[in-house]
Amino acid sequence: MSQSAPRPLELLRLPLHGSRLIEASAGTGKTFTIAALYLRLVLGHGEQRAGGGPLVPPQILVVTFTEAATRELRDRIRERLSQAAAAFRDPARYPDDPVLPALRAEYDEHERPAMARRLELAAEWMDESAVSTIHSWCYRMLREHAFDSGSLFTQDLEADQTALLAEAVRDYWRSFLYPLAPEALVLARRALGDDPEAQRQKVRPLIGQAAPVAPGLDSPEGFAGVLDDRLQALERLKRPWREQFEALEAQFHALRKAVLNGRKYQKPEALMAAMRAWAEDPAALQPEPVGSTSVLGRLCARGLAAGCRKGQTLPEDLHPGFTALDDYEHLCQLPEADLLNAAANWIGQRFHQAQRRRAQMGFDDLLTRLDQALTQGEAGERLAATLRRQFPVALIDEFQDTDPVQYRIFQRVYRVADNPREQALLLIGDPKQAIYSFRGADIHSYLQARRATAGRHYTLPRNFRSTGAMVRGVNRLFQHAEQAWPEGAFLFRVAEENPVPFLPVAAQGRAEALEVHGAAQPALTLWWEDEGEPVAGKHYLPRQAAACASHIVALLNAGAARQAGFRDPDGGLVSLRPRDMAVLVRDYNEARAIQQALARRRVRSVYLSDRESVYRTDAAGDLLRWLRACAEPTVERLLRAALATPTLGLPVAELHRLTADELLWERRVEQFRGYRRLWQGQGVLPMLRRLLHDFAVPARLVARADGERVLTNLLHLSELLQQAAAELDGEQALIRHLVEHRSGNGEGGDEQILRLESDEDLVKVVTVHKAKGLEYPLVFLPFICTFKPVDGKRLPYLDRTTGGAPRWLFEMDEETRARADRARLAEDLRLLYVAMTRARHACWLGLAPVKRGTRKSNQLHQSAVGYLLAGPEGVVDGGLEAALLRARGEESAIAVTPLPAASDEGYRGPEHRPALGPARVPRRPAYEHWWIASYSALSLHAEPAAGEAVGEPARASASTAPESVGQEIIRETVAEAGESAGPDSAALALHRFPRGPGPGTFLHGLLEWAADQGFAGLAEQPALLQREVARRCRRRGWSEWAGPVADWLLRLLQADYPLPEGGALRLTALPSYQPELEFLFQTRWLNAARLDRAVTAATLDAAPRPPARAALLNGMLKGFIDLVCEQDGRYYVADYKSNWLGQGLEDYAPEALRAAVLARRYDLQLVLYTLALHRLLRARLPGYDYERHVGGAVYLFLRGLDAPGRGLFHCRPPRALIEQLDDWLQQGPDRPDVQATGSDDA
């Protein structure tokens, strides 16, 4: 069978070193296996790599191929780690698990708590695990190892690089095509495309992969020279036909009468007219076709000789114009392959230069750049060694979908063939499910790895997805082909070697069983239709769709009557429902056929495809017409097209009225002008939503069978356009964006894939590619006989069939075409395997002797199912049933039955639907009472506005937390603005300095700058201080204040501020301080009135003061402390106050300061700031004690420097108050009733 027959995998005995290949057939628990191996690596269990031990999640590389699979795999591993930790702590947990009890038993009792803790830590660490897609891993490696990889430290990953590539193509046209003469330009456009956009489509797959450039084509001059040479050669052929046409025409007619076979030269006048037109057009390569064979091929000397009647020969005086045409095959064709390849090379270089300038990469660049970095001699080996140390173990999921570049990366890092014991590379995949060649996946890369790991192959032997009968049925059909056909089931057997064998698997089975009308059902049903003659595709699709839809309806109606469903071991029956069914298709045409057949029978379905873009839906076409009309509402043609769209649904009578009623038409014009204004003012999304509701589109769509799908598409498109509009300039640019994406020219990501409109009870119509990795209870394959043979017309073609390096072919001979079609059939067989193995309980296949085109005999053998069941020779017309019976053999799980007759019976739905009750009314507000509070919000003690409930967070900006220090200063000083009287003496200092928010911010800024410079150091550099003050005053227009302010600031820094408990505070003598300390901490359900009462009672001798603003603190409390400082082991919070309290020094005496503090509720501020200090010291200071370490709060009234007490106000809130507030803010004593406000975390 194979040089390396795989061994059944024993999860707890697999050596975790070297390179090993695990082949996981469909449904055999691949993800479970990966998670189990991950457990062993975390524990360091079993046979590990040399010098290895337990690993942590960041050291275990797990690579898969989609973001969705990455998320699922990470979650499954995290869950498995948690389960294993629980099982290690408690043997009663998970006793029936196939792995955990045995794994636990391999550790001694005293070891198990440590192992459990290790597993718990690994589960907590999974957010930082190295589980990622191949692209995201490469991106990370290029950034983390920028030196070794030669990459920039910062690079942007751009998913859509269409615009950048288009610009490179336009550069090519500017450099190579625009300078050409008209005739040469015509030739160039034939080879490269009519315009830059057409050329972009041609060269896009070649970027970075083109072959070496033919000599001379890498420069504009050489390119022009090649075209000129071809034009000159054409001119030599055409000149006789242009200058001596009459002679040539006369000789041709004479030859036709005398020696030529008239049947080969019908329509002689048309032949001569085509030659005349060709000769007169310098850039024409070939004459216009006349008949099915080449005109030049018939009129060259060789062609004329071959067209002579029997026994006749051409005359010796044959005109040289005929003889010259003998070289037409070479001279009348362009070297398109060379020209296109050269263009791709030049454009690719320009494209990559633009990427480097922008520090930008595309997804393909991630792989190629890491691949290139690993080949750079010593640097590449150093990088590979670094990656091995960083990730000593790698598990590669879905390895069958690897492409050559990806495999080279793993090969260079982990040295697959060398099988070193110092590392582990586990390759997990299934070659039978390699179905993504259109994305670049190459099964030959898998086969290369299979050869490199010879002798180290393992297989998962048991299917956990399907019933025993389903597994037996699939085993029978594929094993039959494996044994009966020379090339095996998957066309890879050569002699005794088969690198892609079919190995039957055992079945775990399922507890429930499918039952219809009290009887078990066959797992595999082969529906056949064979009337003794081939069936054309145009008949095959509708017949199979009707029969399949009818059978689905019959099953659903039986389910609605509780006559069909899944019988559990206890005898209960779960009725069959639409969501239990999936119809797998290859493309949109097949999906449309079955959806229409289902819709006619009142069965709702949804189409899911991994390639179906919302831009290519009918809704997108209607939306495009709306946008054009909104952008130019006065253009009658555009507006009428928009109003006539099916989605708007205007009656025909109203559309007709618009042609006769001028006033009605003007109203529509004005309506769309309004949409344009809304578009320009608020954006395309609000405009489209307004349009939808103005025309009642949602209400009308939901009444249609497909309405929810259409409405979902419209809303999806609106969101995509709103996002795109942020990067586009104007309405027309957005319209062009939509047009490009509808035509398929715009690239995009997953966000463009059709969204599922709901989780309703719908039959799923799914492409086979999309269904991979999924499973469904019942699967229908009604169009499984369709196929698309390789015809050699889709060029350039990437040839992967030789087993060597893939290569681009610009022309395809018959041998290459046959080889490519053989590869197509092999992939179709793998698609068939994927499709059949999606079913849990049953699968139906629709079979017929199909043909394509005008063929007389059927071509069933060219389809995957035809080859599988009947072999490479196929079946004769009328022999389909016999072939299917031979394939079935004695297997009872397979039924061979005629195609059921189509029926018009519709789906009746469940007999008893629950009555709808009244709409539920929420008993809580739609928002949580949560806000960010601050002292300045609480100290604004105005009454609540009319209609505003007491305790609600204020909606005005003044009652929300300040975003910066400047905002807080402005709020404190906004009422103090006044005119400056100008400085008149140093003694008055800042009494006459301008007051209000601007000056306050100015003074605070100076003190912040002084703190950053260092108070003591700045006091020793008065010249620096004076320059900075002068600069700041000059910028404000206060140059006359520069001297007094500088003198004031220097004195303020050096002043001694007496403290009530003794000693003095001097800024220049502070041993440590922190300016502008921001705090933000949680508050929970505390009424500001409660806070106000506590602060009033405990501070400043309970003196009367204005009440705080009514508010309910729930959310966060935010503030900015000007200065936190330490002196003599005690910590203080200090706040600068620039308030203007009066003209004289007595206005800043201690009694006046106390009155100002009470009037402005600075007592509330100092308590909150002291609470913030208390929390900080409690968390950071060892042995913290409030009485010993907290000095209290200090207010420095800046204008009172020369007053008694130097403008200092000090207060130290009692410890009991601070601790009481701390408890309140955590416990939430004023939490509203749950029924009124919702849950804690709502």
| Binding positions for ATP | 24-31
Distance CA 238, CA 1143 (A): 106
Of the CA atoms within 13 Å of residue 397, those in its CB half-sphere come to: 27
The three-class DSSP label of residue 143 is helix
Question: What is the maximum span of the chain, computed from C-alpha positions, in angstroms?
Answer: 136
Which two structure tokens, joined as six digits, stand for 1065? Answer: 């505070």
Which two structure tokens, joined as six digits, stand for 362? Answer: 């595309």
Which two structure tokens, joined as six digits, stand for 618? Answer: 């009918």
Q: Work out the end-to-end distance of the chain between its first and last CA atoms, rounded to an integer number of angstroms.
A: 63
Distance CA 443, CA 314 (A): 56
Q: Are strands 156-157 and 130-133 parallel, antiparallel or unpaired?
A: unpaired
35 touches 486 (CB < 8 A):
no
Which two structure tokens, joined as six digits, stand for 225? Answer: 């020279």
Distance CA 970, CA 894 (A): 83
Q: Is 959 left (phi over 0), alpha (psi -120 to 50) or beta?
A: alpha
848 touches 528 (CB < 8 A):
yes
Q: Within a 10 A sphere around the Cβ of 16, how many other Cβ atoms?
A: 19
Eight-state DSSP code of residue 400: G
Phi/psi of residue 57, nearest 5 degrees: -50, -40
* Residues in contact with 685: Cβ distance below 8 Å, sequence separation at least 6, in sequence order: 718, 719, 721, 722
491 touches 829 (CB < 8 A):
yes
Annotated binding site: 24-31, 1004, 1122, 1135
Nearest residue to 1162 (alpha-carbon basis) of 1117, 1106, 1118: 1106
Distance CA 1217, CA 166 (A): 69
Sheet holding 7-8, edge to edge: 7-8, 457-459, 18-23, 424-429, 393-396, 60-64, 130-133
394 touches 449 (CB < 8 A):
no
- DSSP E strands: which ranges in 535-608? 535-536, 564-567, 573-575, 581-585, 605-608
Nearest residue to 1052 (alpha-carbon basis) of 1098, 1003, 1097, 995: 1003
Distance CA 1085, CA 1174 (A): 21
Distances (CA, A) of 1207 to 1151, 1166, 1204: 11, 16, 7
Distance CA 201, CA 196 (A): 9
Distance CA 786, CA 535 (A): 11
Of the CA atoms within 13 Å of residue 157, those in its CB half-sphere come to: 15
Which two structure tokens, joined as six digits, stand for 1136? Answer: 């600068």
The label of the residue with tokens 């073609």 reads: 797
Question: Does residue 796 have a cis peptide bond before it, meaning omega lies within 30 degrees of 0?
Answer: yes
Question: Which residue type occupies 956?
Answer: A
626 touches 645 (CB < 8 A):
yes
Annotated binding site for Mg(2+): 1004, 1122, 1135
Residue 1135 annotated in active site: yes
Nearest residue to 1032 (alpha-carbon basis) of 1004, 1062, 1066: 1004
The three-class DSSP label of residue 1116 is strand
H-assigned helices in 894-1037: 935-939, 965-973, 997-1013, 1015-1019, 1022-1036
Given the residues 338, 430, 828, 1135, select the one marked as catalytic: 1135
Distance CA 176, CA 188 (A): 9
The count of residues in the chain is 1242
Query: Could you list the active site residues?
Result: 1135
